Amino acid sequence: MLTDITLGQFFPGNSLLHRLDPRAKIIGTMLFIIAIFLANSLATYAIVAIFVMGNFIISRLPVKLILKSLKPLWVIIVFTMGIHVFTTPGQSLWQWGFLHITREGVTQGALMTARLVFLIVFSSLLTYTTSPIVLTDGIEHLLNPFKRFGVPAHELAMMMTIALRFIPTLLEETERIMKAQTARGANFTSGNILQRGKNMIPLLVPLFVSAFRRADDLAIAMEARCYRGGTGRTRLHELEYTAKDGAALGVIIVITVILAGVRWCL
């Protein structure tokens, strides 16, 4: 299960999405997340679905990545569907005791589940198509205007990117520790909640020790390379905002405006 979590992973490629400026992708992702919440009908959800699938096709990423990004969160997806199906009032389709399923509940649950799926899939595209270094540069450039208010743009960008970069590494480390502890007789799947919590101690302790060791090694490596923050630093590849970045961002803005117009004007 842990190996199915793809958050923070980058898949190299030469598609249009891979070549877009990271600032355009970050802003576009935030705008489209807002657009997803504006969808409130089958027509608007169809627009969102077409746009998300279109971006995945343009990115030339394997289709299995969609399922892989959703697999670790299936419990949340099913819970979201169930909570709407069993709690939304309306025309009853099935009832047993205090449990009842309504037509409106099924519709609302399907729409909310689709919204959650779109959020996960589209957000994953940002890390799938953007390397950690480029993502750091993009975040820092977007935060630079806030330096006049005392915001440490470079440090914040570096911390966020390091955290994102080490998610796959820590997941792999967790998987190795779980296999090693299981070989020694540890059981992480049986027992009640308290027993399972106790069984997690042999996993959490070495994981925290390994995480702090990695952080210390990273700090030493950065100091050995004379890292002193963002002041005066240059980059091998400077970010360049081109017409295709503006066009991609413009498409997302147009879709957001259309969804907002359908929601509030029709």
pLDDT score recorded for residue 241: 85
pLDDT score recorded for residue 27: 93
Average pLDDT, rounded, for the chain = 82
In the chain, the percentage of residues whose pLDDT exceeds 90 is 14
Structural domain that includes position 138: 2-265
pLDDT above 90 (res 79): no
Long-range CB pairs of 61-64 (<8 Å, 24+ gap) are: 61/11, 61/13, 61/15, 61/125, 61/128, 61/129
Residues of 32-47 as b/e, b for ≥16 C-beta within 10 angstroms?
beebbebbeeeebbeb
pLDDT above 70 (res 88): yes
Average pLDDT over residues 179-193: 76
> Between 69 and 35, where is the model more confident?
35
d(CA 2, CA 168): 9
pLDDT score recorded for residue 5: 59
pLDDT above 70 (res 243): yes
> Between 252 and 110, where is the model more confident?
252
Q: Which region holds residue 50: left if phi is over 0, alpha if psi is between -120 and 50, else beta?
A: alpha
Instruction: Give the count of alpha carbons within 13 A of 214, CB side only.
Output: 14
Average pLDDT over residues 98-122: 83
pLDDT score recorded for residue 3: 52
Q: What is the DSSP letter of 99?
A: E
Average pLDDT over residues 147-165: 81
pLDDT score recorded for residue 180: 83
Predicted model pTM: 0.77
Into how many domains does the chain fold?
A: 1
**Residue 48: CB atoms within 10 Å:** 21
pLDDT above 90 (res 87): no
d(CA 237, CA 20): 14
Q: Are 102 and 93 in contact (CB under 8 A)?
A: yes
